[in-house]
Every structure is written in structure tokens, then in C-alpha cells.
Amino acid sequence: MSWLDTIVQGIMLGGLYALFAAGLSLVFGIMRLVNLAHGDLIVLAAFLILLLITALGLNPFLAAFVALPVMFALGWALQYVVLNRTLGDDILPPLLVTFGLSVVIQNGLLEGFSADSRRISAGMLETASLQIGPVSIGTMPLLTFASAVGVIVALNLLFYRTSLGRAFRATSDDSATAGLMGIRAERIFATATGLAMMVVTIAALYLGTRANFDPTMGPARLIYAFEAVIIGGLGSFWGTLAGGIIIGVAQTAGAAINPEWQILAGHIAFLLVLIVRPRGLFPRAVD
Amino acid sequence: MALLEIHGLTAFYGDFQALFGIDMSLNEGETVAVIGANGAGKSTLLRSISGLIRNAPGHIRFDGGEIGALSAPDVVQLGIAMVPEGRRLFPSLSVEENLLIGKYGRSSNGAWTLDAVYDLFPVLKERRHNPGMSLSGGQQQMVAIGRGLMSNPRVLLCDEVSLGLAPVVVRDIYSAFPKIRATGASIVIIEQDIGQALKVADRVYCMMEGRVTLTGTPAALSREDIHAAYFGAHRR
């Protein structure tokens, strides 16, 4: 295995981590809410896709497409009915409530789908690959990375080019004054979480086709997502992508040296970036 | 019947009573100034109208309907826009985006568009892509007024327009009010700078310690009356 190959595979893996992290970044950027159940919601979405595949016989991509509006509605309702009530000057209530939600989702999934590990089959695509020069890239990792870039571009366009994006930023700046503009913060927050759940669904598709998943693996995904968001700089989508890539490359490089080092290398890279740039690579100017 | 009618309005901050039975009215197309010293309750009055403070129902009527208990977004939707004290521009938004966000809550076809606001305050057009917070205080006030106008409100509430601004800048900003009322909007201006307020207002309310102590047209009010209503005692 050449170093070039290792780095390319790491970048592709970084795309997956960026997908895990983008929804977290979106929600935190708008309402300063840290959602500890984010990883479990990814696993929930993966089970939803699996359910749609087995029940309706859809192919995985179509199943994910069907799951998108369902997850948006779920996120919207979760924020509007539950999480909005936890927002305030105190940061503890949202942490406690989303931690509880994480436990509820894990146990609900265990009850409904058992502890067996599952996977989403992508058929021929799983083994297909592209040969680019000396490097061979799997089609699924390439699709994952392309989707991550697509999601980041779309979120940036939404944020900086649309009326809804202006409302997101205004509410994040000053929700009382935003109210004077006719912006209903509780609905803006619900829409943001709905969008985050759509990103979660895309992440879940690639999580499920890449490797096995089971109901209790959410928190481990959450750590990578957190690390990507934090070293990217809070509130920056491109930073989140960069953060994901750094974690991905570090893990792949660590694994290339010694498979035992894979996870540790990612965490060390995270700490190193924080030592050099405590506010992340692309911190928001206004905070 | 007046466009905006307030009867016996009271307001509290916890146990502290800020307003003691305010009566006030604003007619269609009229400009009214509310003057008074710090702590007189002027801003509380405006925040009650705009929905930032939600009151017991029954004391504020707009166009015949009760609005005292409504939230700020509901009030905006009905056509009452507020220019808050201290400008309160959105730091993450450019000048133009700050203006555009003003029409988020109310879809209306009226005289006020981006171009109309730039005609009113030409300096903003040159700086439209700059961050809102990079402007001078006077320019920020112009953005805040323009942002309020973008929803084509029937009533524009302006809180402490001249606060912290140089007199020459205040004159510039006040010269916009006749143009704003020419489009048919009714205006409530809250001021400590009595001179400017009296020049543009049709009627004046003077407040002290949570009560209206004097009302009338600027021409009918003598300086002594205003001093008495403002400070609570005649100057000797």
C-alpha cells in the first residue's frame, strides 16, 4: 500500500465523518445546541433505510430518498416539541435531555431490531472501483465523499444565498431582534433540526453500506463527528469537511502503520490541531 | 377611530411597575413623538406595542383588533415594525441582508423596496456589501430604519433614534421622516432630544415615571409646560 493510496482512502473516509458532523455543525451553529443523540439518530436513520429496503424492496438509494422527508419531519417535531423547551441561558438542560434521548433511541432500537449487527447492501457498487493512476478508489467511498462535498456546498448556499439562510443567521445572532423582523425562532430551530436530520439520513446510507451497524454504535460515531466539528471551527461547514478529512486521513495513516493505531491516531490528530489552533481551523469571525 | 389605540396600559418588570395606565392614540398617517427622561417608561410603552413585552389583553388595539397579548412576529405580520433602541443590527449579515431580513415576516407590496431605501439613504447603497456592524453609528441607524421600512409597515415605531449620535447626523436621519410619512406610514418616535422630535411630530406625548404628563401639538406646548412635564417641576 503506497502512502498516496493511504491518503486518498483517508480523504474518502473523511467524507463520511464530515457527513456525520455536518448536521451537528448546522444545529450547533444556529442554536448553540449540542445534540448528544446525534450518533444515535444516524443509527436510527440507518435502521429506517433498512426497514424501507426490506419492507418495500427498494434499492438503498431510493430508500434513503424516501427516508429524507420522514427524518425531516421527525427532526422538526423533535425540536419543536422537545428540544426547544430545553434552550435557554443554561447549557445543562439540552445536554441532559439529548443524553436521555440517546438512551431511549438505543433501547428502542434494541427492542425493535434486536442487538444483531446489520448492513445495507449496495449490490454491485460495493465492490466496484475506479483506477486513477496508481490509486484505486472504491465507488462507494467516492460517492460518500462526493455526497459530503455536495451537502457542504448545499448548506453553504442555503445559509448565504437564501432568505431562510438569512433568517438562520439572524436568529443565531439575536433571536429577540429577529422576532421583531417576524422571524419565529422556534420554527427556525425546528427547520434547522429537520435539515440536520436530512443530512443524518445521507450519512446513515453510507454508514450502513460501508460497514455493519447495530443499535448501540451511535455514541462512537458521535465522537468522530464532534472532533470534526471542533477542529474545523464551530459554525463553519467547510471547516467541518476539513475536520472530517483530517480525522479520516489520520485514522487511515495510523492503520497503515499498525491496525491497532487507527482510532488512536484520529484522536491524536484532533488533540494536535487543538494545541495549534484552539478555536479550530476556520473559526467564525463573529461569535 | 384611531389606527392605534392604547387604553389604561400597565406594564411590570417583576414587582416593579413601569407603566401606570397609559392612554394614547395614533391616527392614520400621523407622526407622534413620545418624549421623557430616562426611566419614564417610553421604551416600555414601545416594547409593549411591538410584542417584545406581552401584556394582558384589552389595552392595545390596532386597526380595531386587540394586539397587546400578541408575540412580536404576530405584530409584525399585522403591519407594525419596530426600530429597536441601539439599532440591533445582525452582526453576521451584510447591510443589504440586514435590510432584506426586514421583510421576512410580512409579504407586502408597498413603496418600500431595497431601491427605495437606498434612495432614502444613498450612503447605504455604496456600503451594501459591508457587514452591518462595520458602519458608523449614524449609518447603522439608517440601516435599522430601512430594515423596519422593508415590511411596508402601517406603523413604524422608532426607539431613541438620536441616542449616541452627533447632532449633524441626527439632523440627516430626521430629514428622512417627512419622506417616510409621505408614503402613508404612521410613525411613533421616542426621543430624549426634544428639539428634533417636536419638529417632525404632529402631536407630542410627554411621559414621566410611567404616566403621560402632557399631550398636545408642538405649537400649543410652551417650553415651560414641557419642562414641567419632563422633570416634574417648573424651572425657576
Question: According to the model, what pLDDT value does residue A285 have?
Answer: 57
Reference A26, options A163, A201, A189, A167; nearest CA is A189
Q: What is the dihedral of CA B46, B47, B48, B53, to 10 degrees?
A: -170
Chain B's closest residue to A171, CA to CA, is B90
Is B100 an 8 Å CB contact of chain A? yes
For residue A181, list chain B residues with Cβ-Cβ distance below 8 A: 76, 101-102, 104-105, 147, 151
- Using a cut of 0.80, tell me whether the model's pTM lies above it: yes
Strands B80-83, B4-13: pairing is unpaired
Question: According to the model, what pLDDT value does residue B194 have?
Answer: 86
For residue B81, list chain A residues with Cβ-Cβ distance below 8 A: 180
Contact B92 A167 (CB under 8 A): no
Reference B118, options B87, B85, B149, B93; nearest CA is B149
Is B144 an 8 Å CB contact of chain A? no
CA B70: distance to chain centroid?
Answer: 18
Residues in chain B, how many? 236
- Domains of chain B from N-terminus onward: 4-231 (3.40.50.300)
Report helix, strand or coil for A282: coil
Chain B nearest-CA distance from A173, in A, is 6
Count the Cβ atoms, other than its own, within 10 Å of residue B138. Answer: 19
For residue A180, list chain B residues with Cβ-Cβ distance below 8 A: 50, 52, 72, 76, 81-82, 84, 88
For residue B51, list chain A residues with Cβ-Cβ distance below 8 A: 179
* Amino acid in the structure at residue B129: H
Question: According to the model, what pLDDT value does residue B236 have?
Answer: 47
Cα angle, residue B70 at apex, residues B67 and B76 outer, rounded to 5° = 85
Q: Note whether B118 and B99 are within 8 A (CB).
A: no
A181, A183, A184, A236, best to mutate vs chain B, most B CBs in 10 Å: A181
Is B5 an 8 Å CB contact of chain A? no
Report helix, strand or coil for A129: strand
Question: According to the model, what pLDDT value does residue A287 have?
Answer: 47
Count the Cβ atoms, other than its own, within 10 Å of residue B193. Answer: 18
Is B147 an 8 Å CB contact of chain A? yes
Q: In A211-242, which positions are buried (b, 16+ CB within 10 angstroms) versus exposed (e)?
A: eebbbebbbebbbbbbbbbbbbbbbbbbbbbb
For chain B, 236 residues long, the average pLDDT of each consecutive 10-residue run is 92 91 94 91 94 89 93 95 95 95 88 94 95 93 96 95 91 93 94 87 93 91 83 60
Contact A177 B90 (CB under 8 A): yes
Question: According to the model, what pLDDT value does residue B217 have?
Answer: 92
Report helix, strand or coil for A235: coil
Residues in chain A, how many? 287
Contact A182 B147 (CB under 8 A): no
* A62-99 tens-digit pLDDT: 999 999 999 999 999 999 999 999 998 898 999 999 99
The complex scores an ipTM of 0.91
The C-alpha atoms of residue A64 and residue A204 are separated, in whole angstroms, by 8
CA B188: distance to chain centroid?
Answer: 5
Report helix, strand or coil for A278: coil
* Amino acid in the structure at residue A96: L
Show the low-confidence residues of chain A (pLDDT under 50): 286-287
Question: According to the model, what pLDDT value does residue A1 have?
Answer: 56
The DSSP secondary structure of chain B, one letter per residue, reads: --SEEEEEEEEEETTEEEEEEEEEEE-TT-EEEEEE-TTSSHHHHHHHHHTSS---TTSEEETTEE-TT--HHHHHHHTEEEE-TT----TTSBHHHHHHHTTTT----SS--HHHHHHHSHHHHHTTTSBGGGS-HHHHHHHHHHHHHTT--SEEEEESTTTT--HHHHHHHHTTHHHHHHTT-EEEEEES-HHHHHHH-SEEEEEETTEEEEEE-GGG--HHHHHHHHHSS---
